[in-house]
């Protein structure tokens, strides 16, 4: 404790330590502080940058693809109902291009979720179940199409396909918002439909996304350690320069000045980390909108009016907003800097140690020759 107090608060001139002892203490303390600062700060900064990369590369695209799969299936379901209601003509014309486009798009979206790397093993298995249900849903729609001349079989096939897609509401409702059949996700042991399972996957992904966007205890602790060590390091380097100026008659120690140069990057790295964290918080809000703000009625406007101004609640608009927030939430000139923070700190520590060791060795040689007091 006495050493720390002496490090922080300069002693009066009459009580200052001998040159040899002072340089020896700095030769141990300053490199150690440089190592602690660089490792703690570098780890915390790399974690925040890695969180942004995970949100941009895995979690946000996976949530967008899940929402797109759900909306595409619900739009396709309504198209199938409308086509089947036309009767015998559906045998020749088919269910409709929009139905085929949307079911294909849903399958592709689910495949993209599987390749995103955002799912756990259990969630990947659940996604495989969803993909199987989507295939079975299409088979029952084909069954209804093949029996379109028999209203009872046609309605039975459509009803069974729809029960695989959505949990029937209680009490039953004819239509939901925008004229689409109601399809609220269910919970519990009875929630086995496609939309129920997709909703459960979305909830799990949003939770992990929010966890990655939050500053964990490890990052906060490392930031406190780094800030404390950085303040002590800066103070120690300044006091050592003053000491060398008065005792060794050096105008300035160039090697120690060079060792202090990496500290100039800390404000920029800190600003970059703050921008990244704020962007991550905005993406958390966007992730919630991907699951709750959009609807089949909103998504269908992109098909019906492709050249109109896009609705901000569209999945594509929300995906673009998340990408834009993450792109703006960083200083692009610092891309790739995170892995170099700790190595630069270690080099700085080595430079400080070598410089002070040279001063100490020079002082010892002079003292032995009797040229210094």
Q: How far is CA 20 from the centre of its chain?
A: 50
Kindly state whether residue 337 falls inside one of the protein's structural domains: yes
Angle at 210 between CA 342 and CA 273, to 5 degrees: 30
Pair 281, 322: CB distance under 8 Å: no
Looking at residue 366, its pLDDT comes to 46
Looking at residue 45, its pLDDT comes to 96
Looking at residue 5, its pLDDT comes to 54
Which residue, 70, 140, 159, 63, is CA-closest to 106?
Answer: 70
Torsional sign, CA 143, 148, 150, 154 = positive
Pair 209, 327: CB distance under 8 Å: no
Looking at residue 136, its pLDDT comes to 94
- Radius of gyration over alpha carbons of the chain, in Å? 32
* Structural tokens at position 290: 């991907």
Kindly state whether residue 227 falls inside one of the protein's structural domains: yes
Kindly state whether residue 223 falls inside one of the protein's structural domains: yes
Which residue, 79, 295, 314, is CA-closest to 183?
Answer: 295
Lookup result for tokens 């964990």: 216
Q: How many domains are there within the chain?
A: 1
Kindly state whether residue 372 falls inside one of the protein's structural domains: no
Kindly state whether residue 71 falls inside one of the protein's structural domains: yes
Pair 318, 342: CB distance under 8 Å: no
Pair 167, 186: CB distance under 8 Å: yes
User: Over the chain (373 residues), what is each successive 10-residue block's mean pLDDT?
Assistant: 53 54 84 95 96 94 94 90 77 77 94 93 95 93 86 88 79 61 76 90 94 93 96 91 79 89 94 95 93 86 76 90 92 91 94 87 52 43
Which residue, 160, 162, 167, is CA-closest to 189?
Answer: 167
- Backbone phi, then psi, for 168, in 5-degree steps? -60, 135
Kindly state whether residue 83 falls inside one of the protein's structural domains: yes
Kindly state whether residue 184 falls inside one of the protein's structural domains: yes
Print the domain residue range for 247.
2-366
Kindly state whether residue 371 falls inside one of the protein's structural domains: no
């Amino acid at each position: 404790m006495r050493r720390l107090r002496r490090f922080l608060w300069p002693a009066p001139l009459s009580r200052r330590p001998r040159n040899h002892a002072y340089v020896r203490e700095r030769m141990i303390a300053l490199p150690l502080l440089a190592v602690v600062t660089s490792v703690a700060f570098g780890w915390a900064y790399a974690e925040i940058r890695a969180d942004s990369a995970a949100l941009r590369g895995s979690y946000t695209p996976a949530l967008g693809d899940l929402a797109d799969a759900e909306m595409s299936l619900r739009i396709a379901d309504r198209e199938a109902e409308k086509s089947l209601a036309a009767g015998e003509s559906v045998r020749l014309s088919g269910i409709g291009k929009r139905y085929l486009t949307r079911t294909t798009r849903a399958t592709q979206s689910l495949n993209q979720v599987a390749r995103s790397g955002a799912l756990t093993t259990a969630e990947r298995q659940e996604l495989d179940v969803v993909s199987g249900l989507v295939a079975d849903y299409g088979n029952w729609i084909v069954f209804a199409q093949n029996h379109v001349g028999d209203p009872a079989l046609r309605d039975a096939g459509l009803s069974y396909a729809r029960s695989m897609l959505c949990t029937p509401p209680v009490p039953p409702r004819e239509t939901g918002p925008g004229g689409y059949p109601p399809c609220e996700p269910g919970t519990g042991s009875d929630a086995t439909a496609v939309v129920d399972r997709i909703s459960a996957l979305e909830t799990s992904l949003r939770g992990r996304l929010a966890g990655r966007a939050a500053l964990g205890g490890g990052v906060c602790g490392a930031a406190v350690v780094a800030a404390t060590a950085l303040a002590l390091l800066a103070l120690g380097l300044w006091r050592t320069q003053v000491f060398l100026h008065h005792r060794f008659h050096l105008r300035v120690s160039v090697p120690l000045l060079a060792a202090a140069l990496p500290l100039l990057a800390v404000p920029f790295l800190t600003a970059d980390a703050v921008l990244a964290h704020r962007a991550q918080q905005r993406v958390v809000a966007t992730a919630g909108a991907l699951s709750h703000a959009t609807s089949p009625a909103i998504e269908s406007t992109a098909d019906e009016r492709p050249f109109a101004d896009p609705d901000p609640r569209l999945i594509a608009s929300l995906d673009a907003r998340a990408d834009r927030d993450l792109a703006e939430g960083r200083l692009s000139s610092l891309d790739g800097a995170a892995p170099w923070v700790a190595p630069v700190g270690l080099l700085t520590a080595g430079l400080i140690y070598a410089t002070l060791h040279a001063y100490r060795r020079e002082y010892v040689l002079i003292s032995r020759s009797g040229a210094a007091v």
